[in-house]
Amino acid sequence: MRIITGIYKGRHFDIPRTFKARPTTDFAKENIFNVLTRYIDFEGINALDLFSGTGSISLELVSRGCEHVVSVEMDRDHHRFITDCLKKLDTNVCLPLRGDVFRYIKSCKQQFDFIFADPPYALKELPTIPGLIFEKDLLKDDGILVFEHGKEHDFSDAPYFVEHRCYGSVNFSIFRKEAKASL
């Protein structure tokens, strides 16, 4: 796993073979971040990485200049790996939390400029996640949600949906919470 760009560009981290998580491929990660440059500037924003897995996206967000990143991962070994990677970068910008994403969403009182969610593709609750994020008001106005999922899901009719991107077997649905017009 490598960091694509930013202050830690090119840094590599070896993922243990025993891990169940599949990091977003470098190809897909690079392409989705290229698309996102049209929507958001990562410098100085607050970001949330749900179902962090190996921490690939969290590390990329830290490297791209996010002011604060919260990384939520339930698996003990994956959480430890993320924590170890952050120690190697000697950064305190990212807060790796070990816990259930659904509990986190329900109890979170913070809003974010950017949210990335990459649940296991077989997760039965997968289709409900974008709705939960908007229901709990986790995105700031003009905030962006990137939702990674398998090809069997289509979110094009969901509220706040703006576009879909597919890179091989990796699908991304992008959502944007429009700022309400002031009167």
**Tens of pLDDT, residues 123-140:** 999 999 999 999 999 999
Q: Residue 81: what are its φ and ψ, rounded to 5°? A: -60, -45
Q: Which residue has the higher pLDDT, 25 or 111?
A: 111
Residue 181 has a pLDDT of 54
23 pLDDT more than 80: no
Mean pLDDT across the stretch 27-52?
Answer: 96
Residue 44 has a pLDDT of 97
Strands (E), 74-160: 94-98, 112-117, 139-149
Mean pLDDT across the stretch 157-166?
Answer: 96
What pTM was computed for the model?
Answer: 0.95
What average pLDDT is seen over the chain?
94
Residue 180 has a pLDDT of 67
Closest to 130 (Cα-Cα) out of 141, 144, 111, 150: 144
Q: Which residue has the higher pLDDT, 131 or 181?
A: 131
Q: Which residue has the higher pLDDT, 149 or 19?
A: 149
Instruction: With beta carbons less than 8 A apart as the criterion, state whether 81 and 54 touch.
Output: yes
Q: Residue 137: what are its φ and ψ, rounded to 5°? A: 55, 45
